[in-house]
Structure 1
Amino acid sequence: MVRSRLLFIFILLGPILFAQSVRKYSNEFMNIGVDAAAFGMANSVVATTNDVNAAYWNPAGLMELEDNQISLMHASYFANIANYDYIAGAMPLDRESAVAFSVIRFGVDNIMNTTQLIEEDGQINYDNISYFSAADYAFTLSYARNLPLEGFRYGVNAKVIRRVIGKFANSWGFGFDASIQFEGDNGWKFGAMARDITTTYNTWSIDEDEYSSVQGAIEGQNQELPETTEITIPKLQLGVAKTFTIHYDFDIKTELDMHMRFAQTNDIISTSSVSATPSFGFEVGYIDLVYLRGGVGNFQNVEQFDNSTKVGFQPGFGVGFQYKGIHLDYAFTDIGDQSVALYSNVFSLKIDWSLFR
């Protein structure tokens, strides 16, 4: 019974209790990504993204929108324990600018609260079990505009982060992203996406009475309130891409990206000031109707049980179908890498607004 309560407290208050030591990795759910097409290419899309989902990957890509679009995505992680949902809409304002709005939710629902299971007289009362959700939300407003230099465009994101752990604690966070894309006459494309450029801050509000009830579930547990401020340090993603046409019917899009964090991590390239991991993705399209995708990325140094280190990576595979403004995509990938995480099936739907006219 004590063990189950310990597990409950770890799930419930882990993000708060350890904020002091892992604060620079806060809001990790914002690094998962969106769009099954991008997952299929191992998230190697910062230079080529050009639809409503560009609001997440590189808002500068919104400038290639020809009409309004909406996008939906759902994925389940950790053997369907956690659900990841995304919805976005984008529209051109004129020939020189475009906007988008998106919402992300990553949450675990129906978590059992067993802290009141045993009453004061020592009797077990299952009627005292209640349920709650632990969920993270992100609300993003995106703006893109052409630069006076031919082929250049830029984009910015303003983000509001909301994190809720039942009645026990909640937080608000605010941050900004900035990006740029360039397309040359020879078919080469370049992109850069800087996330959390101002450092995103999350401030937690803790219900002291509810928190004390959880801490008091284990005799002798420290009642001191945890740290209530987290920060998310900036990240940078760089990409270069080129599309080739073969026999008129087939197009092959390839992209190589570099994902950088300004801290020492388990990335395959890691120093005290910056860490980086590459990713590569490709997409084969047939007459703009059917797409086959593949990629590999997220190369990490994973410590084994015998204290040795092994390089793990995250593969991605996917297919897509497009017809009369309806884009349906599927990806088979995972949230971490192939050596330590469970695989997931990701589906996304994108609709051109012209379909309703």
Structure 2
Amino acid sequence: MVDMVHSMRTFVRVVEAGTFTAVARESNVTTAQVSRAVSLLEDELQTLLLHRTTRHLSVTEAGAKYFERAKLILAELDNATVEARNAMSHAHGRLRVHAAPGLARGAVTAALIAYQARHPDVSVDLEVAQIMPNLVEDGYDVSLVGSMQLPDSAYIAQKLGSSHAVLAASPAYLERHGIPTRAEDLAQHTLLRFSCPGMPLDEWPLEGADGSSIVTVKTSPFQTNVPDAMRYALQSGAGIGVLAAYNAVDDLRSGALVRVLPQWRLRQMNVYALYVSRRYLDAKTRTLVDFLREWLTPALAKFEHEIDLLAQRDIAQQARDNAATPDRSAQQTPSASVQTVH
């Protein structure tokens, strides 16, 4: 099989140098090998490119036309090779990133802005959607998701950190309906369901120092798959719901929301960067994943730490309230069942 690119390069150099010998010398091969490469090219093209005599080479009319086109083709090929190699070594071009809504609001957008400032030759295109896209078909470089259990896929998954979700409600709701002090008390409250991949819709798997509980949410007057919609519903006093730590911390800090059952939190959720291939990963994708590990991992840990500090504050406050006043939990139609495992 003829190596067309090699034969084309050899022919171009022979025309430029004027002799087989000169090309053989610069390529550290024999004159016969150079001559054979040109002959194979002529056989493949079914066209005579060079007139040969013992003392002289001349280019045929077809050879002259082929020489001009071949130079352009080889130049384009060399440019493409340089671009491809630069893509592996220098971060540049358009970077398409998918992120789940909660992550995009809570941490990822700030990280992407900081990444772009560090890599000004990269333009970042962030698409926010709850459902993870097909990275190949939809043309994404990286997908950022949080999940208790990552679904099976052929993608490479880099864990960037972990987080927990917590239960929260507005002060107005708790003033009207009372503050739950045990997981079992949730059966007397209005529970709002949050739908997202990797998390059961009708169960809240809680963990605490004393064991774990499964709260089954049988019915719900409001359900959403968007964290900001859940925040608004909770702030409006619609009930008790679930928010990831990175989405809840601002409202818990300001008092717009109150942590419910601060001794409990939902099962750990991991945050992943997903991409298509580990082999020959281009520079923009590689540097983004490295940057997110540098930026996002400590940011998630900071959210968790602050949530824990707020929980300690709320537990102490609840202890003071319980000592001062009787249980004011209102009796409602049960909307949840609880199984506790110690």
TM-score interval w.r.t. the shorter chain?
under 0.3
With structure 1 as the length reference, what TM-score do the two structures score? 0.22
Q: Which is greater in Rg?
A: 2
Higher percent of residues as strand: 1
Larger fraction in helix:
2
